[in-house]
């Protein structure tokens, strides 16, 4: 994800995003070496991968946000979901449940994310501040929609603020209004 090559970085962000989406939707994941039959071992393997990647994204959050800004705008969309998912998972405490599923809680004591509530909420706020300029300045409607949906997702979690949701809703309604105007 932090590779110098834009193509490698984009593929890494896409892969981690797909892993998070598959885990969230409880689909089988080839990325996590799951077999075709969902078993306790496949859930353990998937949970271990997800908790490791959440830890990585949380620890490297600032570097990943900086890296995403130097990617071409078309590639920026793929960088959002891994950041948003990891930050919300840590802020909500869901990462602890994922660690328990991965059965790595007995050996994760040494590398547990030691983040107080304030640090977790600042992490959420940092990602929102990273995404917010794209609501107003982007000309690409798909990017505005993606940013708005992800900001709504963050506004709903711990440390979320109503202003984030209202910014997102205004952006989506503005997009809708633009579509109505251009089709008329």
- What is the span of the domain harbouring residue 18? 6-183
Tell me phi and psi for residue 135, to 5 degrees.
-70, -40
Residue 59 in domain: yes
Q: Domain total for the chain?
A: 1
Quick one: tokens of 82?
């891994």
Determine which helix (DSSP H) or strand (DSSP E) holds 29, and give its type and residue range: none
Residue 38's pLDDT is what? Answer: 59
Nearest to 155 by CA among 128, 132, 182, 178: 128
d(CA 164, CA 145): 14
SS3 of residue 113 by DSSP: coil
**3-state DSSP: the chain helix, strand, coil percent, rounded to 5?**
75, 0, 25
The packing angle between helices 141-155 and 117-131, to 10°, is: 160
Phi, psi (deg, nearest 5) at residue 175 = -60, -45
Look at residue 18 and tell me if it is in a domain: yes
pLDDT, residue 106, reads 47
Write down the pLDDT at residue 52: 92
User: Per-residue pLDDT for the chain (184 aa), expressed as one digit of tens each?
Assistant: 888 888 898 999 999 998 898 888 877 655 555 554 556 677 788 888 899 999 999 999 999 999 888 888 778 888 899 999 999 999 988 889 888 888 754 454 444 555 577 788 888 889 999 998 888 877 788 888 989 999 999 998 888 888 889 989 998 898 888 777 676 5
Task: List the structure tokens of 90.
Answer: 């840590």
Place of tokens 């590639």: 75
Query: Considering the domain boundaries, does residue 135 fall inside one?
Result: yes
Q: Are 150 and 80 spatial neighbours (Cβ–Cβ below 8 Å)?
A: yes
Answer yes or no: is 87 within a domain: yes
In a domain, 148, yes or no: yes
* Structural domain includes residue 1: no
Compute the residue count for the chain. 184
Closest CA to 172 of 152, 157, 155: 152
User: Does residue 132 lie in a domain region?
Assistant: yes
Largest CA distance in the chain: 61
For the entire predicted model, the pTM comes to 0.81
Retrieve residue 67's tokens: 């890296």
- pLDDT in the model for residue 59: 92
As a whole number of angstroms, the distance between CA 40 and CA 65 comes to 34
pLDDT at 85: 93
Q: Does 159 fall in a domain?
A: yes
């Amino acid at each position: 994800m932090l590779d110098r090559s834009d193509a490698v970085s984009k593929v890494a962000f896409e892969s981690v995003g797909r892993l998070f989406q598959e885990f969230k939707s409880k689909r089988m994941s080839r990325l996590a070496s799951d077999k075709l039959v969902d078993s306790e071992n496949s859930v353990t393997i998937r949970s271990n991968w997800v908790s490791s990647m959440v830890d990585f994204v949380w620890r490297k959050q600032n570097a990943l946000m900086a890296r995403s800004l130097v990617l071409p705008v078309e590639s920026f969309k793929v960088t959002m979901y891994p950041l948003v998912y990891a930050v919300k998972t840590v802020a909500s405490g869901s990462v602890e449940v994922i660690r328990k599923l991965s059965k790595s809680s007995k050996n994760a004591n040494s590398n547990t994310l030691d983040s107080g509530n304030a640090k977790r909420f600042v992490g959420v706020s940092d990602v929102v501040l990273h995404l917010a300029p794209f609501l107003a300045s982007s000309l690409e409607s798909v990017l505005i929609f993606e940013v708005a949906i992800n900001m709504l997702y963050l506004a709903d979690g711990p440390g979320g603020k109503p202003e984030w949701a209202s910014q997102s809703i205004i952006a989506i309604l503005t997009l809708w209004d633009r579509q109505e105007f251009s089709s008329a």
